[in-house]
Amino acid sequence: MAEWSLYEVFVRSKHGLNHKHVGSVHASDPAMALENARDLYTRRNEGVSLWVVPSSAITASTGDEKEVLFDPSEDKVYRHASFYKLPDEVGHM
């Protein structure tokens, strides 16, 4: 197993929806990863499409960076539609 790579699995649950991360599998190559993902994550009609991605190919933000990355958006209320109060007469916009 040590020689097998780890793959992250993404499933599209229905046509029109995006692929969502569901877990991971070990496999010797991408084709086997796809087969394993199919057996492990879609035994009960969970999906219509699968992606497998080598885990090593994912670059992730770390927990420590949370403030640096995401706090700046907190004080930018003007990015939300609800910030702009319009007179009732304008109607739905």
Partner 1 sequence: MYAQLVETGAKRVRTLEEMSPEERAFQERVDAEIKIEPKNWMPDGYRQTLIRQISQHAHSEVVGMLPEGNWVTRAPTLKRKLQLMAKIQDEAGHGLYLYSAMETLGADRDEEIEKLHSGKAKYSSIFNYPTISWADMGAIGWLVDGAAIVNQVVLQRTSYGPYSRAMIRICKEESFHQRQGYQILLDMMRGGTEEQKQMVQDSINRLWWPSLMMFGPHDDDSPNSQQSMAWKIKRKSNDELRQMFIDQTVPQLEFLGCTAPDPDLKWNEERGHYDFGEINWQEFYDVLKGNGPCNRERITTRKKAIEEGAWVREAAVAYAEKQKQRAAA
Residues that bind partner 1 (CB under 8 A): 1-4, 6, 23-26, 28-29, 32, 39-40, 43-44, 60, 62-63
Q: Which is nearer to partner 1, 17 or 40 (CB)?
A: 40
Q: Which is nearer to partner 1, 59 or 82 (CB)?
A: 59
Minimum gap (Å) between residue 17 Cβ and partner 1 = 18
Minimum gap (Å) between residue 45 Cβ and partner 1 = 12
Query: How far is residue 66's CA from residue 59's CA, in Å, rounded to a whole number?
Result: 15
Query: How far is residue 44's CA from residue 39's CA, in Å, rounded to a whole number?
Result: 10
* Paired strand residues for 52: 9
Minimum gap (Å) between residue 74 Cβ and partner 1 = 17
Q: Which is nearer to partner 1, 66 or 77 (CB)?
A: 66
Query: How far is residue 6's CA from residue 41's CA, in Å, rounded to a whole number?
Result: 15
Contacts of 78 (CB under 8 A, 6+ apart): 84
